[in-house]
Chain A
Amino acid sequence: MSNINLQCLLGIQCNDFVMIAADQTNGHSIMVMKDDEEKIYKISDKLVMGVIGDSGDTNQFAEYIAKNIQLYKMRNGYELGPSAAANFTRRNLAEYLRSSSPYFVNLLMGGYDKENGPELYFMDYLASSMKVPFAAHGYGGYLSLSIMDRYHKKDATEEEAYNILKKCVEEVHRRLFVSLPNFQVTVVNRDGIKTLPVINAASLK
């Protein structure tokens, strides 16, 4: 049975940046295969995508999108903005949905647009797409969304947003029956993409 809901993606957008966190567990049936999997992919200089879902689909889809975004850059000399890239991604999901090989992935796309600032897009395997101030995928998301509702503010600093994510991971550790020990965190701002320290049991003490 699919473990898409046992994985977790969290995302927050504020005035100056977008921050995305993803669990680092890769499980096959009852076995934990990996606890340091990187599920947040770099799509272009100021665009990242966190992808969860069936193993194989996630990697394949993320790389397919990333390479097509790069192809656009090679052809035209400039990179696609976040909203155009998000729409391109959604269209691919939609077209493959009604084929014999749909992509079973949920994703959060975060990017920084020169004109419109930071943007966070929530997309799921049914090819829905929405620009949102914060979002989550997976069972972990049910526990986290209300925390983000409570503490999110537009003018939060990167540190404040990181702490909100820490609160969410704390709750996932406390109340989710699945063990998701490590969370990878990436932030995108006007200067580009930055990796923040992994959130794990030790860092939450």
Chain B
Amino acid sequence: MASERYSFSLTTFSPSGKLVQIEYALAAVAAGGTSVGIKASNGVVIATENKHKSILYDEHSVNKVEMITGHIGMVYSGMGPDYRLLVTQARKMAQQYFLMYREPIPTAQLVQRVATVMQEYTQSGGVRPFGVSLLICGWDGDRPYLFQCDPSGAYFAWKATAMGKNFNNGKTFLEKRYTEELELDDAVHTAILTLKEGFEGQMTADNIEVGICDSNGFRRLEPAHVKDYLANIP
């Protein structure tokens, strides 16, 4: 493997004190498909646009919104292949925790572990940072959680946030719309509206993905279910 020959990190400081590779990774994220997450009083919703470059694409075969454990889900903005790796590792870490303690991994702990992996790739030999930011939603201890993980390994807990293309507009939109009393149904509605803000073309149940997490666990919404929500959008 390349890292055998490279004992030095490729992510190095610039004279201004920045890690340029991470800045570039964040740029890759900002160029990726928009994703949003909203924490409601009784659950969390995560959603993303999943536009295909041609009508020949087999929709719904590959998903952006993925389940990590029964009670934790994840979505991303940025590079799909990098995301796949993190999904696999997150799933493994969650099961290892369960094997050790026979209890579902607390969301915050999973986020910490995933973020640690992402940070390692900024300080190890011969590798580059991940070109994704993750939105991780979970339910444990009777309350909902929404976290973002960045290529640098930094993680943040959010009430509501947007990532990827037009994330600034998305966040401004959410700042106006978010309230603490939001229920899950309203949150899904708001999330879809937020996605619509920067959406080019017609939004259908086949080019967006929605996942929700509540006391019953995490699940990705069926396209039919997403269609019902879209019907209520002006």
- State the Cβ distance, B98 to closest chain A Cβ, in Å: 9
Bound Cα distance A91, B100 (Å): 6
> How many contacts between A and B, using CB within 8 angstroms?
19
Q: Is the CB of A76 within 8 A of B103?
A: no
Bound Cα distance A91, B101 (Å): 8
User: With a CB–CB cut-off of 8 A, which chain B residues contact A80?
Assistant: 101
**Residue of B with least CB distance to A80:** B101
- State the Cβ distance, A29 to closest chain B Cβ, in Å: 38
User: With a CB–CB cut-off of 8 A, which chain B residues contact A87?
Assistant: 100-103
With an 8 Å Cβ cutoff, the count of chain B residues facing the other chain is 8
Q: Is the CB of A88 within 8 A of B100?
A: yes
User: With a CB–CB cut-off of 8 A, which chain A residues contact B109?
Assistant: 76
Bound Cα distance A81, B101 (Å): 10
**Residue of A with least CB distance to B106:** A76
- State the Cβ distance, A88 to closest chain B Cβ, in Å: 6
CB of A55 within 8 A of chain B?
Answer: no
CB of B99 within 8 A of chain A?
Answer: yes
- State the Cβ distance, A128 to closest chain B Cβ, in Å: 14
CB of A200 within 8 A of chain B?
Answer: no
CB of A84 within 8 A of chain B?
Answer: yes
CB of A83 within 8 A of chain B?
Answer: yes
User: With a CB–CB cut-off of 8 A, which chain A residues contact B106?
Assistant: 76
Q: Is the CB of A84 within 8 A of B103?
A: yes
Bound Cα distance A91, B109 (Å): 20
- State the Cβ distance, B97 to closest chain A Cβ, in Å: 10
Bound Cα distance A84, B99 (Å): 10
User: With a CB–CB cut-off of 8 A, which chain B residues contact A83?
Assistant: 102-103
**Residue of B with least CB distance to A72:** B101
User: With a CB–CB cut-off of 8 A, which chain B residues contact A91?
Assistant: 99-100
Bound Cα distance A88, B99 (Å): 9
Bound Cα distance A42, B78 (Å): 48
Bound Cα distance A83, B100 (Å): 11
User: With a CB–CB cut-off of 8 A, which chain A residues contact B99?
Assistant: 91
User: With a CB–CB cut-off of 8 A, which chain A residues contact B100?
Assistant: 87-88, 91
Proximity string of chain A (75-95) to chain B, C-beta cutoff 8 Å, 1 when within and 0 when not: 010001101110110010000
**Residue of B with least CB distance to A81:** B103
**Residue of B with least CB distance to A87:** B102
User: With a CB–CB cut-off of 8 A, which chain B residues contact A84?
Assistant: 101-103
Within 8 A of A (CB), among B1-47: none
**Residue of A with least CB distance to B142:** A115
User: With a CB–CB cut-off of 8 A, which chain B residues contact A76?
Assistant: 106, 108-109
Proximity string of chain B (108-144) to chain A, C-beta cutoff 8 Å, 1 when within and 0 when not: 1100000000000000000000000000000000000
Bound Cα distance A80, B106 (Å): 11
Bound Cα distance A90, B109 (Å): 22
Proximity string of chain B (72-116) to chain A, C-beta cutoff 8 Å, 1 when within and 0 when not: 000000000000000000000000000111110010110000000
Bound Cα distance A88, B97 (Å): 10
16 extra A-B contacts, CB within 8 A, seeds A85-B101, A87-B102, A88-B101: A76-B106, A76-B108, A76-B109, A80-B101, A81-B103, A83-B102, A83-B103, A84-B101, A84-B102, A84-B103, A87-B100, A87-B101, A87-B103, A88-B100, A91-B99, A91-B100
19 A–B contacts from the bound complex (CB under 8 Å): A76-B106, A76-B108, A76-B109, A80-B101, A81-B103, A83-B102, A83-B103, A84-B101, A84-B102, A84-B103, A85-B101, A87-B100, A87-B101, A87-B102, A87-B103, A88-B100, A88-B101, A91-B99, A91-B100
Chain B residues within 8 Å of A, Cβ to Cβ:
99-103, 106, 108-109
